[in-house]
Amino acid sequence: MDNSGTEQKDLKLSAWNVKRLSIMAIFIALSAVGALIKIPSPVGTIGMDSAPGFFCALAFGGVTGAIVIAFGHLLTSAIVGFPMTIPVHLYIALQMALWAVCYRWVNEKLGLIPAVIVGIILNGVVSSFAMLPMMGMGGVMGLLPFLVVGAALNVIISAVAYKAIKGSRLI
């Protein structure tokens, strides 16, 4: 029995896994750099860490983007000492991973502009209100403008970068 077809498939699959892991590592490193660029806010964890994750969601798939964006948030939070506790930041990281998948999905179904709008609403507005049980309405209203600005900057940067290299051999 000839297993060369199976071996060939396994070799291609492992090469893709190495490539995918390399891409994620590079973009997680970019998230770490972005984590150092802070947007002043009451919580101190709003930074430029999610643009690489949003970009990856568009360019390489929702799962890749979700992993990168989740690690990006955890890096940002770690830099400032997890001010809202590790479990809350894990919840936020999972939430942001979901937003990256939604961003990709809306881009595929409706286009980039609607995806940008949805990304900003999810990451800015919905994420603010997700903190309601922990922070109360005053905390949400205090957080909302900072989170919307941060979301807008990250999402728009990811969209512009994606648009700039879409169709190239880079992605």
pTM of the predicted model as reported, rounded to 2 decimal places: 0.87
pLDDT at 12: 61
Instruction: List C-alpha distances in Å: 52 to 2, 3, 29, 73, 148.
Output: 43, 40, 9, 11, 17
pLDDT at 18: 86
User: Quick check: 4 and 12 in contact, CB under 8 A?
Assistant: no
pLDDT at 84: 86
pLDDT at 4: 55
CA distance 51 to 28: 10
Segments in the chain below pLDDT 70: 1-13, 15-16, 44-45
CA distance 129 to 13: 41
pLDDT at 6: 60
pLDDT at 77: 87
Instruction: List C-alpha distances in Å: 164 to 15, 116, 160.
Output: 27, 15, 6
CA distance 90 to 78: 11
pLDDT at 47: 82
The number of beta carbons lying within 10 Å of the beta carbon of residue 32 is 17
User: Quick check: 31 and 138 in contact, CB under 8 A?
Assistant: no
Which domains does the chain carry? 4-165 (1.10.1760.20)
